[in-house]
Amino acid sequence: MINTNPKMVKDFFETSQQNIVIDDTRKDLLVKIANKIAANYNNGIVNINFICTHNSRRSQLGQVWSFFAADYFNLPINAFSGGTEVTAFHRNTVKTLTEVGFKFDVVEFSHTNPKYNISFDKNKPSLLGFSKIYDDHENKTPYFVLTTCNNADENCPFIPEALDRFHVPYIDPKHADDTDLQDETYLKTSEIIAAEMFYLFNEVKTLL
């Protein structure tokens, strides 16, 4: 049985921001997002929706690491994700998150798109994870949109519920599927996204 490992998740999160170098252009973008988020705290809880075409890899990693970052920095931020199409929370994404201490419990089985309760500490709330359209009812509005792939940024239509919209692209780890570099590639993508969520949420915390 795989259990949560809060220390392992915390260590990976903290180490990621030490190992990953974020360039100045990217930092400027993350600071801009942080400023917008901080400015909306007067309205209560802030929602972030990570959007990618298939909602299977990068947007899911963004949601999960933001979910952890909100707890780590004690910030009332809800993390969601969605796509312009529905596929599944990719098994390699599940695997790379499991290997750093998250636990995935199937709450609704499906051969095509299972739903998971995702947790990092059995004593804290879990996150519901599955592939869905960006405007699924699970994604509480209004929210900040962070598009994580160029296709979603180009093809995602106007979203009236969006407080603001930012393009934060990542290289798709899909290119390494079924190769010897698969695990290493997914882990590196997870590390990059964790590092940037650390930087973003730390900036929000500093601004409040």
Q: What is the CATH number of the domain that holds 55?
A: 3.40.50.2300
* Identity of residue 170: Y
pLDDT averaged over every residue in the chain: 95
Q: Report which of 133, 12, 136 is spatially closest to residue 69, judged by C-alpha positions.
A: 12
Query: Helix (H, G, I), strand (E, B), or coil: what is residue 133?
Result: strand
- Whether this prediction's pTM lies above 0.85 is answered by yes
Tokens at residue 148, please?
């994580």
Q: What's the CA gap between 199 and 208, in Å, rounded?
A: 15
119 phi, psi to nearest 5 deg: -140, 155
Residue 103 lies in a domain: yes
Q: What's the CA gap between 134 and 112, in Å, rounded?
A: 18
Q: What's the CA gap between 131 and 79, in Å, rounded?
A: 14
Beta bridge partners of 129: 116
Residue 130 lies in a domain: yes
pLDDT digits (tens, 9 = 90+) for 134-185: 999 999 999 999 999 988 777 777 888 899 999 999 999 999 999 999 999 9
pLDDT digits (tens, 9 = 90+) for 157-169: 788 889 999 999 9
Residue 102 lies in a domain: yes
Residue 45 lies in a domain: yes
Structural domains in the chain (count): 1
- In this prediction, residue 155 carries a pLDDT of 75
Q: Return the residue matching tokens 């990693």.
A: 61
> Predicted confidence band at 125 (pLDDT cuts at 50, 70, 90)?
very high
Residue 1 lies in a domain: no
Residue 95 lies in a domain: yes
- Average pLDDT rounded to a whole number, residues 110-120: 97
- In this prediction, residue 1 carries a pLDDT of 46
Residue 200 pLDDT exceeds 60: yes
> Edge to edge, what strands does the sheet with 143-147 contain?
77-82, 46-51, 143-147, 162-167
Query: Helix (H, G, I), strand (E, B), or coil: what is residue 36?
Result: helix
Residue 192 lies in a domain: yes
Domain that residue 35 falls in: 6-207
- In this prediction, residue 51 carries a pLDDT of 96
pLDDT digits (tens, 9 = 90+) for 17-70: 999 999 999 999 999 999 999 999 877 899 999 999 999 999 999 999 999 999
Q: What's the CA gap between 110 and 94, in Å, rounded?
A: 15
Residue 2 pLDDT exceeds 70: no
Burial of 172: CB neighbours in 10 Å, binned 0-12, 13-18, 19+:
buried
